[in-house]
Structure 1
Amino acid sequence: MHAREWKCRCPLEHRDAFIDYLYETGVRETSETSGFQGAQIFTRDVEGMAEITLITYWDALSSIEAFAGVDISKAKLYPEDGKYQLQPELTVQHYAVIEYSFVTG
């Protein structure tokens, strides 16, 4: 299993609307891609901005390529990102996942 990490910042007043937009774009598109295993979104306040981290989980690097294109190190951005005054990272990080478990209940 592999994890793909992407980060961005936006003004705090755009945080909730951008997260909604992120669900409509990146999360929806990844979840419709074969090999997608799950996603997590994290947010925190950093220097008066909202930092948002999206981590998606994949069965193989080839599945990430089906989503992101041949150069999987490039971030996949969407047309209305600028509406949220987004400061996106243009590259993403990939990790081999050693442990993937959640306790529910």
Structure 2
Amino acid sequence: MICRIWHGRTSRRQADAYARFLEQRAIPDYRSVAGNLDVAILRRDEGDVTHFLTVTRWISEDAIRAFAGDDLLKAKYYPEDAEFLLEFEPQVLHFEILAEAHASG
């Protein structure tokens, strides 16, 4: 399994709207791709800036390729991102998942 992490920054005043956008647009996009296991959107407010991390898990590079294209590490952006983001980081990070544990319950 592969964990894909994207980072973006918005102004604090636009953070709530961007969070809604990510929930309504990005999450369904990720989840629509076969091989996407899950999506988590993380938020951290820091002064006048808000950081977002999108953390996704995938079964394989082929699954990521179906989402992001042939350049696996290239960040994927939506046209609407231009309304919110302070910059466009060119790449994401990939990590191989070596071990994991889930809460019992």
Larger CA deviation: 42-51 vs 72-81: 42-51
2:4 corresponds to which residue? 4
Within a 5 Å distance, the mapping from 1:9-24 to structure 2 comes to: 9-24=9-24
RMSD: 1.6
- Are the equivalent residues in 2 in contact too, given 1:7–1:88 (CA < 8 A)? no
Within a 5 Å distance, the mapping from 1:20-31 to structure 2 comes to: 20-31=20-31
Tell me the distance in 2 between the aligned counterparts of 1:15 and 1:6.
Answer: 16
- Following superposition, the deviation at residue 85 of structure 1 comes to 4.0
- Are the equivalent residues in 2 in contact too, given 1:6–1:55 (CA < 8 A)? yes
Q: How many residues align?
A: 105
Distance 1:19 1:83, change over 3 A: same
The one-character-per-residue Cα deviations of 1:56-101 (angstroms, maximum 9, x if unpaired) are 1000111000100000111110011121244232210101012333
Q: In structure 1, give the amino acid aligned to 2:8.
A: C
- Are the equivalent residues in 1 in contact too, given 2:35–2:58 (CA < 8 A)? yes
Structure 2, unmatched stretches of 5+, are none
- Are the equivalent residues in 2 in contact too, given 1:42–1:53 (CA < 8 A)? yes
Distance 1:18 1:82, change over 3 A: same
Superposed structure 1 runs of 4+ greater than 6 Å apart: none
Structure 1, unmatched stretches of 5+, are none
Q: In structure 2, give the amino acid aligned to 1:37.
A: L
TM-score (norm 2): 0.90
Q: In structure 1, give the amino acid aligned to 2:77.
A: L
SS at match of 2:5: strand
1:52 correspondence with 2:48: no
Tell me the distance in 1 between the aligned counterparts of 2:32 and 2:85.
Answer: 27
The one-character-per-residue Cα deviations of 1:25-80 (angstroms, maximum 9, x if unpaired) are 22211100000100111111235200000011000111000100000111110011
Distance 1:17 1:100, change over 3 A: farther
